[in-house]
Amino acid sequence: VPYIVPLFVQGFAKASLRFKTNDIELLCQLPAERKDPAFVMDRHGRIVASEGNTKRFFKRYNVQKIDELFGGHEVKTILGSAERTPDDPSLEPLELYSEIAGKWYQAKTRVGAGNHILVWLDEISSRKAKDVSLSAIRRFSREVVNAINELAVKNDIYDRLALLILREGYQGVFITREDEEGNLSGYAFKSKPDGLIKSKLIQVPENSSAPIWASRKAECDINGCVASATKAQSMPQAEFENKHPFDESVKAFLGFAITNYINYAEGDVSIIAFNKQGGIKKIDSDVINTVVNTARSVTHLIDLAIGNNRMLSALEVAEEVQQNLLPKNVPAISSLDI
Protein backbone atom coordinates (compact mmCIF):
# COMPACT_ATOMS: atom_id res chain seq x y z
CA VAL A 1 0.00 0.00 0.00
CA PRO A 2 2.73 2.59 0.80
CA TYR A 3 4.01 2.15 -2.75
CA ILE A 4 0.58 2.40 -4.37
CA VAL A 5 -0.25 5.90 -3.05
CA PRO A 6 2.82 7.63 -4.55
CA LEU A 7 2.24 5.83 -7.85
CA PHE A 8 -1.40 6.98 -7.87
CA VAL A 9 -0.40 10.57 -7.09
CA GLN A 10 2.31 10.46 -9.74
CA GLY A 11 -0.15 9.09 -12.34
CA PHE A 12 -2.74 11.71 -11.44
CA ALA A 13 -0.13 14.48 -11.70
CA LYS A 14 0.97 13.26 -15.14
CA ALA A 15 -2.64 13.09 -16.33
CA SER A 16 -3.32 16.61 -15.02
CA LEU A 17 -0.19 17.89 -16.72
CA ARG A 18 -1.20 16.18 -19.96
CA PHE A 19 -4.69 17.74 -19.85
CA LYS A 20 -3.19 21.13 -18.98
CA THR A 21 -0.76 20.84 -21.90
CA ASN A 22 -3.66 19.98 -24.23
CA ASP A 23 -5.58 23.03 -22.99
CA ILE A 24 -2.57 25.27 -23.61
CA GLU A 25 -2.15 23.83 -27.11
CA LEU A 26 -5.82 24.50 -27.84
CA LEU A 27 -5.51 28.06 -26.55
CA CYS A 28 -2.46 28.59 -28.74
CA GLN A 29 -4.54 27.57 -31.76
CA LEU A 30 -7.12 30.31 -31.16
CA PRO A 31 -5.24 33.18 -32.89
CA ALA A 32 -4.51 30.94 -35.90
CA GLU A 33 -8.18 29.94 -36.25
CA ARG A 34 -9.44 33.50 -35.87
CA LYS A 35 -11.34 34.77 -38.93
CA ASP A 36 -9.99 38.31 -38.59
CA PRO A 37 -6.24 39.04 -38.32
CA ALA A 38 -4.37 38.77 -35.00
CA PHE A 39 -0.61 39.28 -35.07
CA VAL A 40 2.52 40.74 -33.47
CA MET A 41 4.41 43.71 -34.89
CA ASP A 42 7.50 45.61 -33.85
CA ARG A 43 7.69 49.34 -33.23
CA HIS A 44 8.61 49.97 -36.86
CA GLY A 45 5.35 48.39 -38.02
CA ARG A 46 6.93 45.15 -39.29
CA ILE A 47 4.84 41.98 -38.89
CA VAL A 48 7.03 39.69 -36.78
CA ALA A 49 4.58 36.89 -35.95
CA SER A 50 1.35 35.54 -37.46
CA GLU A 51 -0.22 32.12 -37.88
CA GLY A 52 -3.08 30.31 -39.59
CA ASN A 53 -5.75 32.48 -41.22
CA THR A 54 -3.82 35.67 -40.45
CA LYS A 55 -0.68 34.35 -42.12
CA ARG A 56 -2.67 33.32 -45.20
CA PHE A 57 -4.37 36.74 -45.23
CA PHE A 58 -1.01 38.57 -45.21
CA LYS A 59 0.36 36.25 -47.91
CA ARG A 60 -2.68 36.86 -50.15
CA TYR A 61 -2.24 40.64 -49.96
CA ASN A 62 1.57 40.55 -49.73
CA VAL A 63 1.58 42.40 -46.39
CA GLN A 64 4.86 42.54 -44.46
CA LYS A 65 4.39 45.89 -42.71
CA ILE A 66 1.32 47.44 -41.12
CA ASP A 67 1.44 50.46 -43.43
CA GLU A 68 0.91 48.10 -46.39
CA LEU A 69 -2.39 47.10 -44.81
CA PHE A 70 -3.65 50.47 -43.58
CA GLY A 71 -1.42 53.17 -45.06
CA GLY A 72 1.71 54.91 -43.83
CA HIS A 73 0.05 57.23 -41.33
CA GLU A 74 -1.52 54.50 -39.19
CA VAL A 75 1.66 53.05 -37.60
CA LYS A 76 1.91 55.95 -35.14
CA THR A 77 -1.83 55.73 -34.45
CA ILE A 78 -1.58 52.03 -33.55
CA LEU A 79 1.53 52.55 -31.43
CA GLY A 80 -0.15 55.42 -29.59
CA SER A 81 -3.20 53.28 -28.91
CA ALA A 82 -1.05 50.47 -27.48
CA GLU A 83 0.66 52.84 -25.04
CA ARG A 84 -2.61 53.96 -23.46
CA THR A 85 -4.23 52.08 -20.59
CA PRO A 86 -7.25 49.96 -21.61
CA ASP A 87 -9.49 51.46 -18.90
CA ASP A 88 -8.79 55.05 -20.00
CA PRO A 89 -12.32 56.57 -20.36
CA SER A 90 -11.10 58.91 -23.11
CA LEU A 91 -9.83 56.00 -25.22
CA GLU A 92 -11.93 55.84 -28.39
CA PRO A 93 -12.12 52.53 -30.31
CA LEU A 94 -9.50 52.56 -33.06
CA GLU A 95 -11.23 52.15 -36.45
CA LEU A 96 -9.11 51.74 -39.58
CA TYR A 97 -9.88 51.18 -43.27
CA SER A 98 -7.81 48.77 -45.35
CA GLU A 99 -7.70 49.80 -48.99
CA ILE A 100 -6.23 46.50 -50.21
CA ALA A 101 -8.78 44.35 -48.33
CA GLY A 102 -11.66 46.77 -48.91
CA LYS A 103 -12.76 46.40 -45.29
CA TRP A 104 -13.12 48.40 -42.08
CA TYR A 105 -11.52 47.04 -38.90
CA GLN A 106 -11.58 47.91 -35.23
CA ALA A 107 -8.10 47.45 -33.76
CA LYS A 108 -7.27 46.36 -30.21
CA THR A 109 -3.63 46.70 -29.16
CA ARG A 110 -1.40 45.86 -26.22
CA VAL A 111 2.35 46.16 -25.52
CA GLY A 112 3.71 42.62 -25.18
CA ALA A 113 7.00 40.92 -24.31
CA GLY A 114 10.14 42.29 -25.92
CA ASN A 115 8.40 45.65 -26.40
CA HIS A 116 6.44 44.20 -29.32
CA ILE A 117 2.85 45.21 -30.06
CA LEU A 118 0.02 42.66 -29.97
CA VAL A 119 -2.74 43.56 -32.46
CA TRP A 120 -6.25 42.08 -32.81
CA LEU A 121 -8.47 43.21 -35.69
CA ASP A 122 -12.27 42.82 -35.84
CA GLU A 123 -14.02 43.54 -39.13
CA ILE A 124 -16.74 46.21 -38.77
CA SER A 125 -17.54 46.84 -42.46
CA SER A 126 -21.24 45.98 -42.01
CA ARG A 127 -21.57 48.34 -39.06
CA LYS A 128 -19.84 51.17 -40.95
CA ALA A 129 -22.12 50.59 -43.96
CA LYS A 130 -25.13 50.77 -41.65
CA ASP A 131 -23.83 54.02 -40.13
CA VAL A 132 -23.46 55.51 -43.61
CA SER A 133 -26.98 54.39 -44.60
CA LEU A 134 -28.63 55.73 -41.45
CA SER A 135 -26.72 59.00 -41.82
CA ALA A 136 -28.09 59.35 -45.38
CA ILE A 137 -31.63 58.69 -44.11
CA ARG A 138 -31.28 61.31 -41.35
CA ARG A 139 -29.99 63.82 -43.91
CA PHE A 140 -32.92 62.95 -46.19
CA SER A 141 -35.38 63.52 -43.32
CA ARG A 142 -33.91 66.94 -42.54
CA GLU A 143 -34.05 68.00 -46.19
CA VAL A 144 -37.65 66.83 -46.54
CA VAL A 145 -38.83 68.61 -43.38
CA ASN A 146 -37.13 71.82 -44.53
CA ALA A 147 -38.81 71.57 -47.94
CA ILE A 148 -42.21 70.27 -46.81
CA ASN A 149 -44.20 73.08 -48.46
CA GLU A 150 -42.36 72.56 -51.74
CA LEU A 151 -43.07 68.82 -51.54
CA ALA A 152 -46.75 69.52 -50.90
CA VAL A 153 -46.86 71.35 -54.24
CA LYS A 154 -44.64 69.00 -56.28
CA ASN A 155 -45.87 65.84 -54.51
CA ASP A 156 -42.73 63.92 -55.58
CA ILE A 157 -41.89 62.26 -52.26
CA TYR A 158 -42.09 58.76 -53.81
CA ASP A 159 -39.44 59.74 -56.36
CA ARG A 160 -37.13 61.04 -53.64
CA LEU A 161 -37.65 57.96 -51.48
CA ALA A 162 -36.95 55.71 -54.47
CA LEU A 163 -33.63 57.47 -55.14
CA LEU A 164 -32.66 57.03 -51.48
CA ILE A 165 -33.42 53.29 -51.57
CA LEU A 166 -31.82 52.60 -54.96
CA ARG A 167 -28.60 54.24 -53.74
CA GLU A 168 -28.47 51.50 -51.10
CA GLY A 169 -27.65 49.05 -53.91
CA TYR A 170 -31.11 47.84 -54.93
CA GLN A 171 -32.09 47.33 -58.56
CA GLY A 172 -35.74 48.29 -58.14
CA VAL A 173 -38.31 49.37 -55.55
CA PHE A 174 -42.11 49.50 -55.20
CA ILE A 175 -43.51 52.16 -52.83
CA THR A 176 -47.18 52.04 -51.82
CA ARG A 177 -49.81 53.36 -49.45
CA GLU A 178 -53.02 51.67 -48.37
CA ASP A 179 -56.08 53.29 -49.94
CA GLU A 180 -59.62 53.60 -48.57
CA GLU A 181 -60.61 50.20 -50.04
CA GLY A 182 -57.72 48.46 -48.28
CA ASN A 183 -55.65 47.96 -51.44
CA LEU A 184 -52.01 49.00 -51.82
CA SER A 185 -51.49 51.68 -54.47
CA GLY A 186 -48.20 53.14 -55.55
CA TYR A 187 -45.36 53.30 -58.03
CA ALA A 188 -42.44 51.07 -58.96
CA PHE A 189 -39.05 52.60 -59.78
CA LYS A 190 -35.79 51.50 -61.36
CA SER A 191 -32.68 53.49 -62.04
CA LYS A 192 -31.22 54.74 -65.30
CA PRO A 193 -27.88 56.51 -65.88
CA ASP A 194 -29.35 59.99 -65.55
CA GLY A 195 -32.09 59.42 -62.99
CA LEU A 196 -35.23 57.35 -62.40
CA ILE A 197 -37.78 55.44 -64.45
CA LYS A 198 -41.21 55.55 -62.81
CA SER A 199 -44.12 53.21 -63.51
CA LYS A 200 -47.74 54.15 -63.93
CA LEU A 201 -49.94 53.79 -60.83
CA ILE A 202 -50.03 50.13 -59.74
CA GLN A 203 -52.70 48.76 -57.42
CA VAL A 204 -52.28 45.46 -55.55
CA PRO A 205 -55.56 44.14 -54.09
CA GLU A 206 -55.89 43.20 -50.44
CA ASN A 207 -56.42 39.50 -51.26
CA SER A 208 -53.20 39.31 -53.31
CA SER A 209 -50.38 36.92 -52.32
CA ALA A 210 -47.74 39.32 -53.66
CA PRO A 211 -44.75 39.82 -51.29
CA ILE A 212 -45.61 43.53 -50.91
CA TRP A 213 -48.09 42.20 -48.30
CA ALA A 214 -45.57 39.81 -46.71
CA SER A 215 -44.35 41.98 -43.82
CA ARG A 216 -47.94 42.61 -42.66
CA LYS A 217 -48.27 38.85 -42.17
CA ALA A 218 -44.73 38.19 -40.89
CA GLU A 219 -43.79 37.37 -37.32
CA CYS A 220 -42.25 40.40 -35.61
CA ASP A 221 -38.90 40.41 -33.82
CA ILE A 222 -36.50 43.06 -32.51
CA ASN A 223 -36.03 44.29 -36.11
CA GLY A 224 -39.77 44.77 -36.60
CA CYS A 225 -42.00 42.88 -39.05
CA VAL A 226 -39.50 42.61 -41.89
CA ALA A 227 -40.01 39.99 -44.61
CA SER A 228 -37.23 39.00 -47.00
CA ALA A 229 -36.18 36.13 -49.24
CA THR A 230 -33.20 35.22 -51.41
CA LYS A 231 -33.22 32.69 -54.24
CA ALA A 232 -30.77 29.84 -53.76
CA GLN A 233 -28.39 29.38 -56.69
CA SER A 234 -29.71 25.87 -57.26
CA MET A 235 -33.37 27.00 -57.25
CA PRO A 236 -35.02 27.57 -60.65
CA GLN A 237 -36.35 31.10 -61.15
CA ALA A 238 -39.86 29.78 -61.79
CA GLU A 239 -39.86 27.94 -58.46
CA PHE A 240 -38.75 31.08 -56.60
CA GLU A 241 -41.47 33.17 -58.24
CA ASN A 242 -44.05 30.47 -57.58
CA LYS A 243 -43.12 30.60 -53.89
CA HIS A 244 -43.12 34.42 -53.94
CA PRO A 245 -45.76 35.47 -56.53
CA PHE A 246 -44.70 39.02 -57.38
CA ASP A 247 -47.36 41.32 -58.82
CA GLU A 248 -47.40 40.95 -62.61
CA SER A 249 -47.51 44.72 -63.25
CA VAL A 250 -44.45 45.23 -61.04
CA LYS A 251 -42.59 42.36 -62.76
CA ALA A 252 -43.44 43.68 -66.21
CA PHE A 253 -42.20 47.16 -65.32
CA LEU A 254 -38.95 46.03 -63.69
CA GLY A 255 -38.05 43.78 -66.63
CA PHE A 256 -35.46 41.70 -64.76
CA ALA A 257 -35.49 38.44 -62.81
CA ILE A 258 -36.04 39.05 -59.09
CA THR A 259 -33.54 37.05 -57.02
CA ASN A 260 -34.00 38.69 -53.61
CA TYR A 261 -36.30 41.16 -51.92
CA ILE A 262 -36.95 42.85 -48.59
CA ASN A 263 -40.32 44.21 -47.49
CA TYR A 264 -41.48 46.29 -44.54
CA ALA A 265 -44.73 48.04 -43.62
CA GLU A 266 -45.55 50.70 -41.06
CA GLY A 267 -49.03 52.19 -40.77
CA ASP A 268 -50.40 52.67 -44.28
CA VAL A 269 -46.97 52.63 -45.98
CA SER A 270 -45.53 49.45 -47.53
CA ILE A 271 -42.21 49.30 -49.39
CA ILE A 272 -40.55 46.37 -51.13
CA ALA A 273 -37.04 46.62 -52.62
CA PHE A 274 -35.58 44.15 -55.11
CA ASN A 275 -32.19 42.63 -55.94
CA LYS A 276 -29.84 44.08 -53.33
CA GLN A 277 -26.30 43.97 -54.62
CA GLY A 278 -24.35 41.50 -52.48
CA GLY A 279 -27.54 39.97 -51.06
CA ILE A 280 -29.86 40.81 -48.17
CA LYS A 281 -28.06 41.10 -44.83
CA LYS A 282 -29.14 41.83 -41.26
CA ILE A 283 -28.28 45.53 -41.52
CA ASP A 284 -30.70 45.83 -44.46
CA SER A 285 -33.56 45.04 -42.06
CA ASP A 286 -32.53 47.96 -39.84
CA VAL A 287 -32.17 50.30 -42.82
CA ILE A 288 -35.49 49.41 -44.49
CA ASN A 289 -37.20 49.72 -41.10
CA THR A 290 -35.85 53.26 -40.71
CA VAL A 291 -36.68 54.20 -44.32
CA VAL A 292 -40.31 53.07 -44.01
CA ASN A 293 -40.78 54.86 -40.68
CA THR A 294 -39.32 57.99 -42.27
CA ALA A 295 -41.61 57.57 -45.28
CA ARG A 296 -44.65 57.20 -43.05
CA SER A 297 -43.82 60.34 -41.06
CA VAL A 298 -43.02 62.36 -44.16
CA THR A 299 -46.15 61.33 -46.10
CA HIS A 300 -48.34 62.31 -43.14
CA LEU A 301 -46.58 65.67 -42.90
CA ILE A 302 -47.15 66.21 -46.62
CA ASP A 303 -50.83 65.26 -46.22
CA LEU A 304 -51.13 67.90 -43.49
CA ALA A 305 -49.32 70.49 -45.62
CA ILE A 306 -51.56 69.75 -48.61
CA GLY A 307 -54.62 70.02 -46.36
CA ASN A 308 -53.40 73.36 -44.99
CA ASN A 309 -52.74 74.65 -48.51
CA ARG A 310 -56.25 73.67 -49.59
CA MET A 311 -57.73 75.36 -46.51
CA LEU A 312 -55.76 78.53 -47.23
CA SER A 313 -56.88 78.44 -50.86
CA ALA A 314 -60.50 78.02 -49.76
CA LEU A 315 -60.18 80.96 -47.35
CA GLU A 316 -58.63 83.10 -50.09
CA VAL A 317 -61.50 82.21 -52.45
CA ALA A 318 -64.08 82.95 -49.73
CA GLU A 319 -62.45 86.30 -49.01
CA GLU A 320 -62.44 87.17 -52.71
CA VAL A 321 -66.14 86.22 -53.04
CA GLN A 322 -66.96 88.29 -49.96
CA GLN A 323 -65.12 91.28 -51.40
CA ASN A 324 -67.06 90.92 -54.65
CA LEU A 325 -70.37 90.84 -52.77
CA LEU A 326 -69.64 94.08 -50.94
CA PRO A 327 -70.71 97.34 -52.64
CA LYS A 328 -67.92 99.10 -54.48
CA ASN A 329 -68.67 102.50 -52.93
CA VAL A 330 -69.83 102.54 -49.32
CA PRO A 331 -72.07 105.62 -48.81
CA ALA A 332 -70.90 108.00 -46.12
CA ILE A 333 -73.39 108.73 -43.30
CA SER A 334 -72.98 112.09 -41.67
CA SER A 335 -72.73 112.38 -37.88
CA LEU A 336 -71.97 108.65 -37.57
CA ASP A 337 -68.73 107.85 -35.83
CA ILE A 338 -67.59 104.28 -36.37
How is 71-86 classified by DSSP, letter by letter?
Answer: -TTHHHHHHHHHHS-T
Buried (b) or exposed (e) across 96-107, using 16+ Cβ within 10 A? bebeebebbbbb
pLDDT value at residue 4: 44
> Which amino acid makes up residue 208?
S
Residue 178's DSSP bridge partners are 184
Mean pLDDT over the full length of the chain: 79
Q: For a pLDDT cut of 90, what percent of the chain falls above it?
A: 28
What is the CATH architecture assignment of 128-316? Answer: 2-Layer Sandwich (3.30)
Cα–Cα distance measured from residue 153 to residue 202, given in angstroms and rounded to the nearest whole number: 22
pLDDT (tens digit, 9 = 90+) per residue, 121-145? Answer: 999 888 888 887 778 778 877 777 7
Residue ranges, CATH 3.30.450.40, the chain? 128-316
For CATH 3.30.450.20, list the domain ranges present in the chain.
Answer: 34-123
Question: What does the angle CA 66 – CA 68 – CA 74 come to, to the nearest 5 degrees?
Answer: 50
pLDDT of residue 7: 42
Q: Bridge-partner residues for 174, per DSSP?
A: 188, 272
Distances (CA, A) of 73 to 76, 110, 323: 7, 19, 74
- In this structure, of 77-81, 284-288, 329-333, the range with the lowest mean pLDDT score is 329-333
- CATH tag, 34-123: 3.30.450.20
Q: What is the pLDDT of residue 71?
A: 79
